[in-house]
């Protein structure tokens, strides 16, 4: 801030001067260039240097304080707020600018050419959507309910569907009532509605690191401070979680206990129980995002936290996008009674209600048990891909220096590159060979972490998988050699 002078702010810009100043100081703080508790220049002296009114600096400091970047001590001045100290990951940092297509990925999308082998998408290809079966039920609903279908629907959801879901949940050992079910337009909306209902400005939200990017974006959009706790192969690091909950008193803990996105890791039963104990001890709500627990390939424990929740601490989100049709925009929440009214209000202000037509058709899927057949069908298709993937990985990746863990189910595989290799570079090289991966960086909410990547089997056909993995293995081996050659210069 020493360099600030009369040219620092641009008086010709339409943006208010105090907002420009706020942005400048905020960015300096975010970049870590000002130490915790650093005293900002007094108002009058900074205003003098910038040649602006005192009120410009006052307003900028006020905004910085409101956003939690600085704090005031009466009579002493304004100071940089300490970062959330727990471990290195609990630091709010923006990511480095990425390449154009990686930036697109940060926004949750990427352009995929038709001829590509895409391990990037975790969404089923359209040929897997049960269009014909859906058409029959759709017509039946239209004949039965006529115009009713297209009126505004009850915000909480079509009652018969909530009833069917309550029955369906019994198969997963979740006991609930239609009153506690909230229909949502996809899990992403579920996260958004929960955030809108419960997260206030500057509240802290704990997430796994790495985690689902859509959740990070949503919590950030509410002004939440994100605290990330590393996930291990058997679930989140419990010691760090408990310590962080104790110190940071978060509003929510957002978790994916089964086939976590992006790692594919699943929590052990022991950890699931321990998390509920922590939630009870510190009275924190957990958001359980169950986007995929239906796809189990190696039979292991995959119960939900919700099925173990005796104290009403878990808000359960269920999506059907990965095993049904993402474009339907359909999912549901199971809510503990204490959040019921807030969530209902937030859903109403989001989109009033989820499509009545889709809800009615899905209700018939459940009532007629067509759903079970559909799940079995999807399981069969994905199991073939899963097995080809496992074989290809063991054939081509075993010598590559990659670290990985074969998941028990789900669609995602997570890899750590050997020391010194960068997943953005692997991404670039792979794209040139028509193979698409997702660099792990986008899944880390806080740190810039370049040594991981995610492969998903949702949108690759079995015959593409082996070829794609072979290409990736060659890139990694070649890159390894290139890297080693580049980094050693004999001093002769």
Ligand X SMILES: Cc1ncc(COP(=O)(O)O)c(C=O)c1O
Q: For the window 365-404, what string marks contact with ligand X as x by the rule CB under 6 A?
A: ----------------------------------------
Q: Which of residues 462-491 bind ligand X (CB under 6 A)?
A: none
Q: Of the two residues 225 and 321, which places its CB atom closer to ligand X in the complex?
A: 321
Copy the structure tokens of residue 191: 């996260």
Least distance to ligand X, CB of residue 211, Å: 8
Distance (Å, rounded) from C-alpha 66 to C-alpha 68? 5
| Strand segments (E) across 86-224 | 117-118, 181-184, 204-209
**11, two tokens:** 């008086």
Q: How far is the CB of 256 from ligand X (least distance, A)?
A: 5
Helix segments in 320-369, DSSP class H = 340-351, 356-367
Minimum separation from the CB atom of position 295 to ligand X (A): 13
Nearest residue (CB) to ligand X, 50 versus 285: 285
Site string for ligand X, 236-265 (x = CB under 6 A): --------------------x----x----
Residue 489's H or E segment, with its range, is none
The residue written with tokens 């009033």 in the block is 352
Characterize the bridge pairing of strands 452-456 and 438-439: antiparallel
Which x/- pattern, by CB under 6 A, does the window 284-323 give for ligand X?
Answer: -----x-x---------------------------x-x--
Q: Which residue is nearest to ligand X (CB)?
A: 186
Instruction: Decide if 201 contacts 356 (C-beta within 8 A).
Output: no
Least spacing, CB of residue 130 vs ligand X, in Å: 17
Note whether 65 and 78 are within 8 A (CB).
Answer: yes
Q: How many residues does the chain have?
A: 492
* 89 touching ligand X, by CB under 6 A: no
Q: Which of 331, 356, 440, 468 binds ligand X (CB under 6 A)?
A: 331
Q: What is the DSSP string of 459-488?
A: T--HHHHHHHHHHHHHHHHHHHHHHHHHH-
Binding residues for ligand X, rule CB under 6 A, total 14
| Least distance in angstroms from the C-beta of 110 to ligand X | 13
DSSP strand pairing (285-290 vs 252-255): parallel
Beta bridge partners of 454: 414, 438
Distances (CA, A) of 425 to 98, 102, 166, 437, 439: 11, 11, 47, 11, 9
* In the complex, minimum distance from the CB of residue 477 to ligand X, in angstroms, rounded to a whole number: 30
Of the two residues 20 and 319, which places its CB atom closer to ligand X in the complex?
Answer: 319
Is 48 or 214 the residue whose CB approaches ligand X more closely?
214
Residue (291 or 397) nearer to ligand X, CB = 291
CB 343 within 8 A of CB 183: no
Near ligand X in 164-223, by CB under 6 A: 186-188, 212, 214
Contacting residue, 41, 326, 407, 410, with ligand X by CB under 6 A? 326
Q: How far is the CB of 289 from ligand X (least distance, A)?
A: 5
Which string of DSSP letters, residue by residue, matches 229-253?
Answer: EEEETTEE-HHHHHHHHHHH--SEE
How far is the C-alpha of 123 from the C-alpha of 131, rounded, in Å?
16
Residue 134 touches ligand X, criterion: CB under 6 A: no
Positions touching ligand X (CB under 6 A) are 122, 186-188, 212, 214, 256, 261, 289, 291, 319, 321, 326, 331
């Amino acid at each position: 801030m020493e360099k600030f002078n009369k040219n620092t702010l641009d008086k010709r810009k339409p943006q208010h001067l105090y907002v420009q100043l706020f942005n400048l100081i905020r960015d300096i703080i975010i970049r870590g260039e000002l130490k915790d508790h650093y005293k900002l220049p007094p108002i009058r002296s900074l205003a003098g240097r910038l040649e602006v009114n005192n009120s410009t600096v006052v307003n900028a400091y006020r905004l910085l304080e409101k956003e939690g970047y600085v704090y005031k001590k009466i009579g002493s001045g304004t100071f940089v707020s300490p970062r959330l100290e727990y471990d290195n990951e609990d630091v709010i940092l923006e990511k480095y600018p990425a390449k154009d297509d990686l930036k697109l990925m940060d926004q949750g999308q990427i352009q995929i050419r038709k001829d590509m082998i895409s391990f990037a998408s975790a969404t089923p290809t359209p040929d897997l959507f049960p269009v014909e079966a859906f058409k029959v039920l759709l017509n039946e609903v239209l004949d039965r309910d006529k115009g009713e279908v297209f009126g505004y629907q009850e915000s909480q959801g079509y009652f018969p569907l909530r009833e069917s879901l309550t029955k369906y949940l019994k198969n997963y050992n979740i006991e609930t009532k239609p009153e506690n079910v909230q229909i949502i337009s996809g899990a992403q909306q579920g996260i958004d509605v929960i955030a809108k209902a419960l997260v206030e400005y500057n509240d802290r939200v704990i997430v796994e690191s790495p985690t689902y990017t859509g959740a990070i974006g949503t919590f950030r959009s509410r002004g939440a401070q994100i605290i990330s706790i590393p996930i291990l192969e058997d679930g989140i690091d419990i010691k760090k979680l408990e310590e962080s909950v104790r110190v940071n008193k978060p509003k929510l803990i957002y978790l994916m206990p089964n086939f976590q996105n992006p790692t594919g890791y699943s929590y052990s039963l022991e950890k699931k129980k321990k998390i509920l104990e922590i939630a009870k001890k510190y009275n924190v709500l957990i958001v359980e995002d169950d986007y995929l627990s239906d796809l189990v390939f190696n039979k292991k424990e995959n119960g939900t936290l919700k099925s173990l929740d005796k104290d009403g601490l878990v808000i359960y989100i269920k999506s059907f996008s990965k095993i049904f049709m993402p474009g339907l925009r359909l999912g549901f929440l199971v809510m503990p009674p204490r959040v019921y009214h807030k969530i209902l209000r937030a859903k109403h202000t989001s989109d009033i209600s989820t499509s009545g037509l889709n809800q009615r058709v899905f209700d018939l899927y459940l009532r007629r048990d067509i759903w079970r057949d559909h799940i079995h069908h999807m399981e069969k298709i994905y199991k073939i891909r899963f097995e080809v993937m496992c074989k290809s990985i063991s054939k081509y990746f075993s010598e590559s220096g990659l670290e990985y863990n074969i998941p028990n189910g789900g669609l995602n595989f997570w890899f750590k590159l050997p020391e010194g290799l960068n997943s953005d570079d692997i991404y670039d090289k792979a794209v040139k060979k028509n193979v698409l991966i997702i660099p792990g960086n986008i899944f880390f909410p806080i740190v810039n972490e370049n040594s991981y990547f995610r492969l998903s089997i949702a949108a690759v056909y079995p015959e593409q998988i082996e070829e794609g993995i072979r290409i990736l293995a060659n890139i990694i081996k070649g890159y390894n050699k290139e890297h080693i050659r580049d980094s050693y210069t004999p001093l002769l």
